[in-house]
Amino acid sequence: MIKKILDEKIFNLLFFLSLLLPVFLVTGPFLPDLIISLNSLYFIYFIFSKKIQINFSNIYIRLFIFWIVVILLSSTLSSDPFHSYESSLFYIRFFLSACMISIFIIKNKKFINYSFYILLILLIILSSDAIFQYIFEYNIIGIPKYNDLRVSSFFGEELKLGSYLVRLFPYLIAMYLFINKYKEIKPNLKIIVIFILISISIFLAGERAAIAYLFIILFVTFLSFNYKKVMLFSSAVFLGLYLLISLLDSSSIQRNFSYTYNQIKASDEKIMIFSTQHETIYKSAFEMFKHNIFFGVGPKNFRKLCSEDKYNFKTDFDKSFKGCQTHPHNFYLQLLAETGILSFIIFSIYYFKSLISLFKLVYNSVLKKINNNNLILLYLYLGFFINFFPLVPTGNLFNNWLCVVMFLPLGLYIYLFNKSVFLNNVR
């Protein structure tokens, strides 16, 4: 009896803390990672105590386990295993936590309702605060604007606002569709205002990759819903505000266009890959891969080895830029350099599977052969698509904060396919 009460209290506590994951992400990496770790531990306990059977015949679960084995082997074979294990040893916790969140949804469908409203309120607060900070040079609690080109709201000196908003935006839409899946989805003034508010804030955050992702979301949303005139009007309002801000404040044009052009065309003789700094880092990462094809140099070891002469490239025209950073700034080059070709192939299989599924769903939505359940999947796949998009600079694939953000929608995805993940009914 006491064990049952204790189990229930722990379950309810983790249920509540998991709802607040988006809020804790604003505070930094510690609290979100703590909740993820507790969820993963409780899921392991839950498997044994409730006799939950995971479907290991599922090809994607097998591939993920094999990928985890590969990155652990990569760490083990690296020049500094213990340093590398810091990133790889417990990476599986993000997947296990997502499985636990799917259990929360199975046990109580209101989890998604609560999650939606918490995230919605949070994104509105962050977006409103970002606009306030842009206008008054400081936010509502006195955090100053980072510089003339960027706003960051409550993230302060960590310029994560744009990434945070755009990566969780598709998840917000997917949850909205989930709680309204038995209703006809019609745009209204509140939805349009929230859509425009978040979009403007992503623009003001000044993260160019986030702005590119935003336009992908807007384009897919335009294609996916029948209310083309409303979507066209909303997009026109956003673009109008975008142009107005750009005309009134030249710093936005400077950041998003002039600065970008100058980075790419840093020399009259050559066009750079994003910038001179990015190009040298990418060269260093690829050279590292060529010397360690199968298992790479180990997760988190790029930063330790990039200063070696054989890996440390400099730009041809300006020797001040070195190819040495904490990570290669591209997920796929990071996988090649730090974990090798096998890890890269497995990761790419997941990505292209999501990409194909997304294209099929978008195509069916254009033909109006799609229901609300498929629209939920469409936005989950869209989230995966932009989170792991290979053609823009990215953060560190093994960064705890970023992994929490990227894996957060996976709980809903696993819930939707729980019969292929769990062999028996979860009670």
Closest to 326 measured CA to CA, from 359, 293, 300, 352? 300
Instruction: Select the more confidently predicted residue: 222 or 69.
Output: 69
Instruction: Select the more confidently predicted residue: 233 or 383.
Output: 383
Distance CA 284, CA 333 (A): 10
Structural domain spans, the chain: 2-258+329-421
pLDDT of residue 191: 82
Confidence category of residue 371, pLDDT binned at 50, 70, 90: confident
pLDDT of residue 234: 62
pLDDT digits (tens, 9 = 90+) for 78-120: 999 999 999 999 999 999 999 999 999 999 999 999 999 999 9
pTM, two decimals, is 0.91
Chain-centroid distance, C-alpha 238: 23
Q: Is the pLDDT of residue 68 over 70?
A: yes
Residue 39: partners with Cβ closer than 8 Å, 6 or more residues away: 14, 18, 93, 96, 97, 100, 101
pLDDT of residue 338: 97
| H/E run at residue 397 | none
Which burial class, exposed, middle or buried, applies to 318 when counting CB atoms under 10 A from its CB (0-12, 13-18, 19+)? exposed
Q: Is the pLDDT of residue 323 over 90?
A: no
Give the 3-state secondary structure of residue 152: coil
pLDDT of residue 57: 80
Percentage, residues of the chain above pLDDT 70: 85
- DSSP secondary structure of 167-216: HHHHHHHHHHHHHTTTS-----HHHHHHHHHHHHHHHHHT-HHHHHHHHH
* Dihedral sign (CA 190, 195, 198, 204): negative
pLDDT digits (tens, 9 = 90+) for 266-316: 555 565 555 677 788 888 999 999 999 999 999 999 999 988 888 877 666
pLDDT digits (tens, 9 = 90+) for 208-267: 889 889 989 988 887 877 665 556 666 666 666 666 666 556 565 555 555 554 555 555
pLDDT of residue 228: 58
pLDDT digits (tens, 9 = 90+) for 170-200: 999 999 999 998 887 777 778 888 888 998 8
pLDDT of residue 128: 96
Distance CA 153, CA 146 (A): 9
